Structure 1
Amino acid sequence: MNPSHRPTPPSGRSPHRVQGGLGRAFAVNFLGEAPDWYKLTIAAFLLANPILLFLAGPFVTGWTLIGEFIFTLAMALKCYPLPPGGLLAIEAILMGMTSTDAVFHEVTANIEVLLLLMFMVAGIYFMKGLLLFLFTRILLKVHSKTLLSLLFCGVSAALSAFLDALTVTAVLIAVAIGFYAVYHRVASNRPHHQDSHDHSSDEHVVEYHREDLDQFRAFLRSLIMHGAVGTALGGVCTLVGEPQNLLIAEKAGWEFLQFFQRMAPVTIPALLAGLATCALLENVKVCGYGARLPSAVREVLDRYAHERERKRALRDVADLWAQGVVAVLLVLALAFHVAEVGILGLVVIVLLTAASGVVQEPRIGHAFEEALPFTALLVVFFAIVAVIHEQHLFEPVTRWVLSLDEERQLPMLFIANGLLSMISDNVFVATVYIDEVKNALEAGEISREHFDRLAVAINTGTNLPSVATPNGQAAFLFLLTSALAPLIRLSYGRMVLMALPYTVVLSTVALACIVWIIA
C-alpha cells in the first residue's frame, strides 16, 4: 500500500468531529476500529482484575489474566492483540503480580527468538522473488492436492529440523502472500504493472471472481496449516529444531546425534502419523481441508509465471542467482551453527540489499513491517510468562506429577506439559519442568536413566500437543498475527479447528510411544 494513502475511517465515523464531548472522543478512540462489545470486554477485564486480586488473591487472578490474554489472541482479527494484551501486561506489573526486572529477565532469556524475528524474517522478505519463483513452479507442476499438501508438510518438517520453525513459517507466509496478491490483482481487474493495488481489500473484486477467490483462500489456508504443523513435526526431532530442545539437551548433556536418537522412538512415529493425517485430511475433506486450486486461479498463476519469464531482464536473473547463492550459504551457516539465527538474518539482509541495489531506507524499512509488531507482541507475552513464573501458577501441577510413582510420571508428565503448553509458552513450560527434574536428579531422588526418559517426555510433550492452539507454538502465533491471516480468513478459532485432527493424532501416537517404548 502506498504510504501516503490514508484509508477511510471504518463504520462511517467522521475523522473530524465526534458528538458527545471529549469523553465520547476518548471512548471512540479507545482500541479504534474494534467492535464496541470488544472494547467493553477489555475495559471490564481491566476494572475487574484489581478487585479480583483483592478478593481472591494473586493465584486466581494470575490464571484469570492468562484467560484474558488468550481472549485477546483469539480475537486477533477484531483487534491486533498488542494494544489490549499490552494493557493487561502493564496492569499486571502495576498490581505487583510481576516486576519490570522479571519481564526483562524473560526477554533477555529469549533474545535469540527476538533477534530471529527482527532480522531473519526481514531477510526472508528479500528472498521472496526466489521463493515465489520456486514455489510457483511446484504449485503449477503438482496437480494432486494430496501430494502438494504432503510436499508442504514434509518440506516444512525437514527444514524445521535444521532451521528455526519461525524462519520456515516466514517463508510460507511470504510465498502465500505472493500467490494471493497475484490472483487478487486479476480478480480486481488491476493490471500487474500497477503498484498501488491493495490486496487486503475486496472492494474492487469482480463478482464472478468472488467464488474462486473464496476457494483459493480455503486452498491456501489448508496448505499453510499443513506447513505450520510440519514445522512442529520436524522441530521436535533435533537439538536445533525448537528453542526448548537446546535447553533440554544442555541440561541432559546430549549432543546433536544423541538427542535425535533419544527422541526418535517418539518423534519418528509421530512424524509418520502426521504425514498420514495430512494425506487423510485432504481426501476426507474435514475441518477445513480438501479445497482444490480453482482452474481459473491456476490459469492466472500460469499466465503470470509465463509473463514474468518472458519479461525477466538480466538484472532480475542476477537477483535470483544472488538470492539462490545467499540461500545456500544461509542453510550451510545454520547447519554448522556459525552464529545465532538472528545474526545470520542480519547477514542475509546486508548481502541481498547490497547485491540487488536496495539502498534506500524506505525500501529496506518495508521488510521489517511484518515482523516488528509480532516482536512487540512477543515481549508482551513474556510479561504474561513472567506473571506465571512469579506467581508459581504451574507449581501445583509440577509437584503433583513428580509425587507420582515412576511408572506413572512419564505419561502424566507428557500430558501435563502438553496441556500447559497449549495455553502458555512451551519454552517456559519446558524450562520449568526440566529444571525440576534436574533438581530431583541432583538430589538423588531419581536415577539418571529415569531422568533421560523424563527429558524425552518433557520435550515431546511441549512440542507436539502444543499445536492445538496458537498460544503453544510461536510459529502458529506468528502466522495468526501475520498479514496473511486476514487475507485468507485464518482466525484463531479456525486455526484451532484445523489443528484439532493433528492434535489428537500426534498426542495419541506420542503418548502411546512413551508408554510402550520409552517407559
Structure 2
Amino acid sequence: MPVTLSQAFISNFLGNSPKWYKIAILAFLVLNPVLFYLDPFVAGWVLVIEFIFTLAMALKCYPLQPGGLLAIEAVIIGMTSPSQVLHEIEANLEVILLLVFMVAGIYFMKQLLLFGFTKMITKVRSKTVVSIMFCSAAAFLSAFLDALTVIAVIIAVAVGFYAIYHKVASGKDFSASHDHTNDGNQCLDENELEAFRGYLRNLLMHAGVGTALGGVCTMVGEPQNLIIAAQANWQFAEFAIRMSPVTVPVFIAGMLTCLAVEKFKIFGYGAELPDAVHKILCDYSAHEDANRTNRDNMKLIVQAVVGIWLILGLALHLASVGLIGLTVIILCTAFNGITDEHALGKAFEEALPFTALLAVFFAVVAVIIDQGLFAPVIQWALGFEGNMQLVVFFIANALLSMVSDNVFVGTVYINEVKAALLNGQITRDQFDLLAVAINTGTNLPSVATPNGQAAFLFLLTSALAPLIRLSYGRMVWMALPYTIVLSIVGLVAIETGFLVEMTQYFYDSNILTHHSVKEAVEVIQSAH
C-alpha cells in the first residue's frame, strides 16, 4: 500500500530512530511554547531536561538533530536571542577551533600512532603489561591530543587486527590484499575467537579510561577543560598544576585499578591473547615492516617531529590551541605530500558533527543564562562552606555527567560560578578551587556510561563494537571499577582538604600566583 504524507513525514523525521523517540521529540516541540507562555522558568528547565534526554539517547539518534530542533524553537519563542547564542559561540571560539583544527591535525599523525600501538601488542607478551601500556599511552596522548582521535586510532588498530584474523580463519592469506604471498594458512576455533574478542575488549576499555585519566589533566584534554581555562584565565602549565592535587592521585589509582582487574580477572578483564592469534599478528607486523619504504619511514619521522612541536607548543603556550592544530595540519600535509583537497577533507569528517553539536550546547547555555535557570542551584551550593562547597560541586557535576555529555555540564556550571564571581558572591581563590572541582567532577565520574564520555560513545557506535561483542551494558559493567575508584579518589582529594592545602603550597612556593578579582573581571568582560 502507498504510504500517506503523514506516514512519510514520520518515516523521514529523524530517520531510523524508534517511533516512540520521534513522537517524544514532536511532543517536546508542541509542549515547550505552551509552557513558556505559562511559566518561562519552568519551560526553561523542561528544555534543559529535554536536551539532556537527547544526549542520553545518543545511541537512538545523534543529538545534533533533536537537540538542534529544540534550540531553534527556543530562539523562535523567545527563550533566548540569536545575538546571545552568537555571543556564547564567540566567547568559546577557541574551543571550536580546537575541535576543528586539532582533531584534523591528529588525523594526519595516525600512521605514527598506529605504528606505536601495533608494536605494543606484538612485542609485549604479558597481558597485564600491555593493558597498563595502553591505558597510560592513551592517557598521555589524550593530555595533548583529542581523546576521540586517540580512540579512533586504537579502534583502527583493533579493526585491522580483527580483519587479519578473519582472513586467516577463513582460510585466506592475510597479505592477499597486498598482493603478496605467505605460507601461513591457519584456522582458528571458536574458543580462540572469543578469547581474541575479549582481549580486544579489554584493551579498548583500558584505553578509553586512559583518555579520561589524561584528558582531565590539561586544558586541551577535553573541550570543557578549555572552556574552564578560558573563564579562569589559566594557561597550559597553570591548568595542569592546579588540577594536579586531584589528577595525580587519580591517575595512580587508575593504573592500580588496571593492574587489579587484569590480575584478578574481574569485571570481564583478564582475557589472554591466544598463541595462534599472536603469531598471526606478529607475522603481519613483520610483513608490514619488511614492505615499508624509505618514503614511508620519512613520513613517520615527520609525524614524530610534528608531535614534538605539538607538545612544546602547547606546554609553552606559543599560540592558541586551535592555531597550533592548524600548524600540525600544514606541517604534516606539506612534508608528507598530501596536497589533494579531497584527502584534506577526510580529516575534518570526525570533528565537524561534534563541533555543530557544541554550537547547539551554547544555544542551550544561552537559554540557561537568559532565564536564570541554574541560579537557585548555584546559590544552594554556594551556601556550603570550605571543602564541603567543593564536594557539593564535584558531586553535582559527577551525577549529571554520568547521564549527560560532560562538555555541556562543565560549560553550564563554570558559567554560573563565573557569574557568582562577577557579582561578588565568591572570592577569586574560591572561584579557582571551584573550577578544579567542576573540571574533575565532569571528567572523572563520566566514565560510568557512554553518555558522559564522547570517546566511549564513539567506541560504542563504531563498527568494531558488534564484532567484539561490546554492548552498552557490558561497557558500563567493565567501566564500573574505574568509575568507583576514580570518583572516590577524586572526592577524597577534595573532601580531605588535600586540594586546598596543595594549592596553598603552590602559592607559598611561588609556583602559582594569586589572580585578582579585578583581573578576572577584565578577562571575562573582554570576551563580552
For the aligned pair, the TM-score class normalised by the smaller chain equals: 0.7 to 0.9
Task: Tell me the equivalent position of 1:332.
Answer: 312
Give distance in 2, aligned partners of 1:488 and 1:105. 44
Task: Tell me the equivalent position of 1:97.
Answer: 79
* 8 A contact 1:46–1:88 mirrored in 2: no
Give distance in 1, aligned partners of 2:373 and 2:470. 31
Note the 1:200-239 alignment, pairs <5 A: 215-238=195-218
Match of 2:253 among 273, 281, 293: 273
Are residue 427 (structure 1) and residue 410 (structure 2) matched? Answer: yes
* 8 A contact 2:444–2:487 mirrored in 1: yes
Give distance in 2, aligned partners of 1:73 and 1:394. 19
Are residue 30 (structure 1) and residue 13 (structure 2) matched? Answer: yes
Compared CA separation, residues 292 and 371, structure 1 to 2 (3 A) = farther
* 8 A contact 1:248–1:430 mirrored in 2: no
The unaligned stretches of length 5 or more in structure 2 are: 179-185, 501-528
Deviations 1:250-275 (A, max 9, x none): 66676666555544333222221111
Q: Secondary structure at the match of 1:323?
A: helix
* 8 A contact 1:244–1:430 mirrored in 2: no
Letter in 1 for 2:204: I
Compared CA separation, residues 494 and 100, structure 1 to 2 (3 A) = farther
Compared CA separation, residues 239 and 321, structure 1 to 2 (3 A) = closer
* 8 A contact 2:236–2:315 mirrored in 1: no
Q: CA deviation at 1:428?
A: 0.7
Compared CA separation, residues 207 and 140, structure 1 to 2 (3 A) = closer
- Taking only the aligned residue pairs, the percentage that are identical comes to 58
Give distance in 1, aligned partners of 2:269 and 2:55. 23
Task: Tell me the equivalent position of 2:374.
Answer: 394
Give distance in 2, aligned partners of 1:45 and 1:512. 40
* 8 A contact 1:161–1:237 mirrored in 2: yes
Task: Tell me the equivalent position of 1:377.
Answer: 357
Compared CA separation, residues 298 and 66, structure 1 to 2 (3 A) = farther
Match of 1:88 among 65, 70, 73: 70
* 8 A contact 2:148–2:455 mirrored in 1: yes
* 8 A contact 1:185–1:192 mirrored in 2: no
Are residue 54 (structure 1) and residue 34 (structure 2) matched? Answer: yes
Select between 136-145 and 278-287 the one with higher mean Cα deviation: 278-287
Letter in 1 for 2:16: E
Give distance in 1, aligned partners of 2:167 and 2:365. 42
Give distance in 1, aligned partners of 2:451 and 2:127. 29
* 8 A contact 2:410–2:438 mirrored in 1: no
Give distance in 2, aligned partners of 1:74 and 1:447. 35
Q: Secondary structure at the match of 2:338?
A: coil
Task: Tell me the equivalent position of 2:134.
Answer: 152
Match of 2:421 among 435, 438, 446: 438
Are residue 127 (structure 1) and residue 109 (structure 2) matched? Answer: yes
Task: Tell me the equivalent position of 2:505.
Answer: none
Q: Secondary structure at the match of 2:288?
A: helix
Letter in 2 for 1:85: G
Give distance in 1, aligned partners of 2:189 and 2:56. 30
Letter in 2 for 1:28: S
Give distance in 2, aligned partners of 1:137 and 1:314. 19
Compared CA separation, residues 335 and 449, structure 1 to 2 (3 A) = closer
* Pairs aligned (count): 486
Q: Secondary structure at the match of 2:80?
A: coil
* 8 A contact 2:421–2:428 mirrored in 1: no
Task: Tell me the equivalent position of 1:462.
Answer: 442
Task: Tell me the equivalent position of 1:198.
Answer: none
* 8 A contact 1:322–1:352 mirrored in 2: yes
* 8 A contact 1:413–1:461 mirrored in 2: yes
Q: CA deviation at 1:512?
A: 1.7
Select between 246-255 and 327-336 the one with higher mean Cα deviation: 246-255
Give distance in 1, aligned partners of 2:246 and 2:329. 37
Q: CA deviation at 1:208?
A: 6.3
Q: CA deviation at 1:400?
A: 0.4
Deviations 1:466-487 (A, max 9, x none): 3334444454455555665566
Compared CA separation, residues 89 and 408, structure 1 to 2 (3 A) = same
Give distance in 2, aligned partners of 1:220 and 1:279. 17
Are residue 508 (structure 1) and residue 514 (structure 2) matched? Answer: no
Letter in 1 for 2:272: R
Letter in 2 for 1:27: I
Note the 1:332-351 alignment, pairs <5 A: 332-351=312-331
Q: Secondary structure at the match of 1:393?
A: coil
Letter in 2 for 1:390: D
> What CA RMSD, in Å, does the superposition of the two structures yield over aligned residues?
3.6
Q: CA deviation at 1:499?
A: 3.0
Q: CA deviation at 1:514?
A: 1.7
Match of 2:278 among 298, 304, 319: 298
Compared CA separation, residues 236 and 24, structure 1 to 2 (3 A) = closer
TM-score normalised by length of structure 2 = 0.78
Give distance in 1, aligned partners of 2:140 and 2:244. 14
Letter in 1 for 2:494: I
The unaligned stretches of length 5 or more in structure 1 are: 1-17, 196-205
Give distance in 1, aligned partners of 2:452 and 2:87. 20
Deviations 1:390-410 (A, max 9, x none): 333322221101123445323
Q: Secondary structure at the match of 2:212?
A: helix
Give distance in 1, aligned partners of 2:481 and 2:41. 33
Letter in 2 for 1:438: L
Note the 1:102-113 alignment, pairs <5 A: 102-113=84-95
Compared CA separation, residues 495 and 105, structure 1 to 2 (3 A) = farther
Give distance in 1, aligned partners of 2:243 and 2:274. 41
Task: Tell me the equivalent position of 2:522.
Answer: none
Select between 127-136 and 316-325 the one with higher mean Cα deviation: 316-325
Letter in 2 for 1:412: V
Task: Tell me the equivalent position of 2:479.
Answer: 499
Give distance in 2, aligned partners of 1:103 and 1:211. 55
Task: Tell me the equivalent position of 1:13.
Answer: none
